[in-house]
Amino acid sequence: MWSEAHQGAGLLGFLPGQGPRLLPVLCHPGATLELEMLWQLARTLQRLGYGTLVLDAGARESAHEPGLAQWLDEQAGAWPEQEAQAFAVVPAAQGLAGLAQDEERALERLADAVRHFAFALLYAPPAQVAALFAGRAVSPVVLNVPGDAALLRSYAVLKHMAGLAPLRCTVAAVSPRPDGLEAARATLQVLERRCLQWLGASPRAMVVDGSDEEAWGALALRLMEGACVAQCPAGRPARHAPVPHRAVTRYHGHSVV
């Protein structure tokens, strides 16, 4: 029997020629554990059969470490198709900053640059997410981990986002162990109440057992529902590469395996 996660992945399969799905994940200042959760989300999407790219707005592109800015260059083109066969994390600070200034064609250009991937996670601050996705049917993600500091970070980023664009966010509270699920639920309830009281609306909320692979699969599929489906330029259809079982292993000092 196929797991529910794999059945759901089939139901949410892409139409021929459809562009990549884009999902913004809001940056947390000082995030550490949140980044590990981001890598786990990307690995899960990859496991479900979606070639996945993480665009990191916190890292600048360079000649030594090229990224989104180079792909957006008309001379360079998209990420090479033969290299789009693994979960990857690349710098995107300059590329996303430039796209945020292009209101008319930003998402079309982004979709074209990453067209060989099925899914792109944009790890970016609220200002860039608002500039790129205002008026779109998308639900930016906030990854929440245990601890009072993480709770305050989550509220701060939700408040910032609410002041920039009326996009309803999704908060995923990830507990590393099953015995922390009740505390995670309690944290989410506090966050929902305070957002409703002080911001006028509460976010969507999910609690995830971080030790359960199936729970990660369910989370990935729920978040997929809130992603923006981008269209590639006419004559440049998306062709998503097959997904082997390998992944980038290190990135900016963080383990992503």
- Cβ neighbour number for residue 223 with a 10 Å cutoff: 23
Residue 214 has pLDDT above 50, yes or no: yes
pLDDT at 104: 81
Residue 231 has pLDDT above 90, yes or no: no
Ranges 7-16, 80-89, 234-243: which has the least confidence: 7-16
- CATH code linked to domain 18-236: 3.40.50.300
Across 246-253, average pLDDT: 40
The domain limits of the chain are 18-236
In contact, 89 and 21? CB cutoff 8 Å: no
Pairing of strands 254-255, 250-251: antiparallel
- pLDDT band for position 254 (cuts 50, 70, 90): very low
In contact, 203 and 169? CB cutoff 8 Å: yes
- pLDDT band for position 18 (cuts 50, 70, 90): low
Across 242-257, average pLDDT: 39
The first and second tokens of residue 211, run together, are 């030790």
Mean pLDDT of the chain: 83
pLDDT at 2: 37
pLDDT digits (tens, 9 = 90+) for 92-136: 999 999 999 987 889 999 999 998 899 999 999 999 999 999 999
- pLDDT band for position 233 (cuts 50, 70, 90): low
pLDDT at 28: 79
What contacts 228, CB < 8 A, 6 or more positions away?
A: 21, 22, 23, 107, 133, 136, 137, 138
Give the DSSP H/E element, type plus range, for residue 223.
helix 213-225
Residue 63 has pLDDT above 80, yes or no: yes
Give the amino acid at 92.
Answer: A
- pLDDT band for position 11 (cuts 50, 70, 90): very low
Q: Is the dihedral of CA 25, 27, 32, 33 positive or negative?
A: negative
Residue 244 has pLDDT above 70, yes or no: no
